[in-house]
Amino acid sequence: MHVPVAVQTIFLLICSNIFMTFAWYGHLRWKGLSMAFVILSSWGIAFFEYMLQVPANRIGYGYFSAVELKTIQEVISLSVFMLFSIFWLGESIRWNHAAGFALIVLASWLLFLPEHS
């Protein structure tokens, strides 16, 4: 079964961003944990993020430009973070958060427009 490069890349980027979001922000639920424990456990989680992020970029580069890969990653990162904020941290997304994110997505869309000489 052949999985298209774009699908492989985006799937791996979504998975890597889930790990990275937990590495960076997952500990915020437990303020009583020591800083050393938080740092070491975050490094451990980030290892798995790298195991997915690096292959995603290697697979996707050539099909996507480096700018497009980074843009996809950032939009995925914000999407994952919004869900993480709601479901893990129990925070709500305000209208201005949603509007700001929509503007970032719009700006990202511009990067994918075809080049005209």
End-to-end Cα, the chain, rounded Å: 38
- Is 82 inside any structural domain? yes
- Is 52 inside any structural domain? yes
d(CA 100, CA 12): 25
- Is 107 inside any structural domain? yes
Other C-beta atoms within 10 Å of 56: how many?
23
- Is 116 inside any structural domain? no
Residue 3 burial class via C-beta count within 10 angstroms: exposed 0-12, middle 13-18, buried 19 and up: exposed
Name the domain count of the chain: 1
State residue 58's pLDDT score: 97
Residue 92 burial class via C-beta count within 10 angstroms: exposed 0-12, middle 13-18, buried 19 and up: exposed
- Mean pLDDT, consecutive 10-residue stretches, the chain (117 aa), reads 95 97 94 94 95 97 95 94 95 93 90 80
pTM: 0.88
- Is 29 inside any structural domain? yes
**Which two three-digit tokens encode residue 74?**
């950032």
State residue 117's pLDDT score: 61
Contact by Cβ (8 Å): 45, 27 = no
State residue 6's pLDDT score: 96
- Is 117 inside any structural domain? no
